Amino acid sequence: MVEVNLWSGLRRLTDGAQVVSVEGTTLREVLRNLAVTHPALEPTLKSGVSVSLNGVIETNLSTPISAGDEVYLIHRVKGG
């Protein structure tokens, strides 16, 4: 299981949970299983979020993830 930390705006979609545990061995699997476990998150995940993995913004969805990793979902940063 991987623990995913959510920003405050997402917590209303997970019954107030700040941290959600999901299965997955890659970032893609974790995000997919997060949407299955908490369907209300799916529109936000599909529209795009940034993921911090062990303190680094990760864009490669094939990146391996293990149980001890720190995973944070954050608002996608948009440039201009």
Asked whether 30 and 45 are in contact (CB, 8 A), the reply is: no
Strand duo 2-5 + 19-22: pairing: antiparallel
- At 80 the pLDDT is 57
Residue 12 C-alpha from the chain's centroid: 15
Q: Convert the pLDDT of each residue in 4-26 to its tens digit.
A: 999 988 989 998 999 999 999 99
Q: Is residue 44 situated within a structural domain? A: yes
Look at residue 68 and tell me if it is in a domain. yes
The predicted structure's pLDDT at residue 50: 92
Identify the CATH number of the domain in which residue 71 sits: 3.10.20.30
Q: What is the pTM of this model?
A: 0.88
**Total domains in the fold of the chain:** 1
- 45 by DSSP, 3-state: which? helix
Residue 80 domain flag? no
d(CA 77, CA 19): 21
Instruction: Name the residue range of residue 24's domain.
Output: 2-75
Residue-wise pLDDT tens digits, 27-80: 999 999 999 999 999 999 998 899 999 999 999 999 999 999 999 999 876 665
| 13 falls within a domain | yes
In a domain, 9, yes or no: yes
The tokens describing 60, both together, are: 């490669």
